[in-house]
Structure 1
């Protein structure tokens, strides 16, 4: 083959690769929300199925979207507002909720974001922030003191918890398996997509330094969805009184099952310390 032929073949291959990349990136951009949010609408379980005593909640967000959830009763005074991850719905979190009630003695407020479970609407970044604030406001409306509220954000829920903590007073915040930002996480799984093309930000990395409340970061050392380096980085950037607990052997979704006594002790010590700080 002549030199001109080699060059022509190389240019053809390069053109094909560029076109294929543009098509793939374009498809991912069109499907961005579907790659981030994985809601299911059918509740496969209710609190009573796990022996939990709960009151059904109906909460209206600032833009009129109605949210559904439960206030699960515990024996203590602290209230854990749980902002869950990106998949399923609150029905899938009830076994874990029972763990919180039995092991930590807290009330658990568990409400689905828009588009999840029985909640109306469809999820996006700004929408779930509005949901998070509405859930908090509904708790405070029941005469719960701000200092008795612990925000708990797991995975995607960490972004919601951080956003709420920036706009509302709370006693403490716990982040489990959190990511630095959506673009940073996208680089872990879709390295070929430029960060500036990712529209959903959830930029926890730039926000957490302004969250001036005691903070606990929990992360599994075998997390393949959100690598532990993300949690460590947020811990390093936290404003004050931050703690980090590495959950040995845990992945992304089995933290409370794998963590054992060290995991429980990290929770109880943090709740005890923050109760002393506000009591």
Structure 2
């Protein structure tokens, strides 16, 4: 009898654990879009609040979605940074980074909100972010008459995958990947090793595949102390990137590495833009 009770108790424990696992898996499956995209609609501030002149731009995606962005001109140099942010907030939550790049590098900036973020219409989706990025590129070339060779495609975190996809399509300019993953499924499986995320995750963002198609110079920036995306992702991306390429190792957390490693970060970008990667 005691043996049967033990078996029955173990069976009950296993059944409860299975139920908890299934419920957890189902919850994460149906909520995955909320993990991938964390947009905020309210614009909390603008570059005017940090005493930087800007133009608010409304442009249209290939599938007819009205998108919002900020163009911040700088006459010091002809290059323009086309900036794609990460998965949370909106362009107004990147003011500190915008100010940092603008004042430290002296370059014009064009930062956009993906559909569903900030003042951009629509609902975020993987294909939508790619369409939005292409629309931003076309805006710079057609409306601003920017030479494609002078466009610096810059993506942070999830925006790095969007940037790599665009760079692989246009084959022009230069590409900077900052704190970017090899693929969303790779990073998700590392964060949730007990769940079958590779099988059920609807989103991919396979940066590792896109970077193989990039024929322009590539700079990969990543912190060895990144608390969200391990440095190994950057090393793998670098391994699969075409020449010319450069890997810039910095320190600090996922969201503050550019501040903690300011000198290395800024000098690395300046040298890259100036073409010194050709010396490696």
Q: Mark yes or no: TM-score above 0.5.
A: yes
TM-score normalised by structure 1 residue count: 0.94
* Aligned twin of 2:92: 91
SS of the residue 1:85 aligns to: coil
Q: Distance in 2 between matches of 1:78 and 1:86?
A: 26
Q: Distance in 2 between matches of 1:274 and 1:42?
A: 41
Contact (CA 8 Å) 1:68, 1:119: kept in 2 or not? Answer: yes
* Aligned twin of 2:51: 51
* Aligned twin of 1:273: 275
Contact (CA 8 Å) 2:36, 2:87: kept in 1 or not? Answer: yes
Contact (CA 8 Å) 2:271, 2:277: kept in 1 or not? Answer: no
Q: Distance in 2 between matches of 1:153 and 1:94?
A: 15
**Deviation (angstroms), 1:169:** 3.1
TM-score normalised by structure 2 residue count: 0.94
Q: Distance in 2 between matches of 1:275 and 1:56?
A: 34
For structure 2, the 5+ residue unaligned runs are none
Q: Could you give the per-residue CA deviations for residues 101-148 of structure 1, whole angstroms, max 9, x where no partner exists?
A: 222121100110111111111111111111111111111112111110
Correspondence 1:147 to 2:124: no
Correspondence 1:126 to 2:93: no
Contact (CA 8 Å) 2:40, 2:117: kept in 1 or not? Answer: yes
SS of the residue 2:81 aligns to: strand
Q: Distance in 2 between matches of 1:97 and 1:81?
A: 11
Q: Distance in 1 between matches of 2:32 and 2:3?
A: 43
Q: Distance in 2 between matches of 1:161 and 1:113?
A: 12
Q: Distance in 2 between matches of 1:103 and 1:214?
A: 21
Contact (CA 8 Å) 1:224, 1:251: kept in 2 or not? Answer: yes
- Give the aligned CA root-mean-square deviation in angstroms: 1.6
Q: Distance in 2 between matches of 1:26 and 1:253?
A: 30
- Count how many residue pairs are aligned between Structure 1 and Structure 2: 276
* Aligned twin of 1:226: 229
* Aligned twin of 1:76: 77
The counterpart of 1:199, out of the listed 188, 202, 205, is 202
For structure 1, the 5+ residue unaligned runs are none
* Aligned twin of 1:114: 115
Q: Distance in 2 between matches of 1:237 and 1:276?
A: 18
Deviating above 4 A after TM superposition, structure 1's stretches of 4 or more consecutive aligned residues are 274-277
Contact (CA 8 Å) 2:148, 2:172: kept in 1 or not? Answer: yes
* Aligned twin of 2:3: 3
- Further displaced range: 254-263 or 141-150: 254-263
Q: Distance in 2 between matches of 1:47 and 1:90?
A: 10
SS of the residue 1:178 aligns to: coil
Contact (CA 8 Å) 1:52, 1:73: kept in 2 or not? Answer: no
**Deviation (angstroms), 1:3:** 3.0
**Deviation (angstroms), 1:151:** 0.3
Q: Distance in 2 between matches of 1:255 and 1:57?
A: 29
**Deviation (angstroms), 1:67:** 0.6
Contact (CA 8 Å) 2:244, 2:277: kept in 1 or not? Answer: no
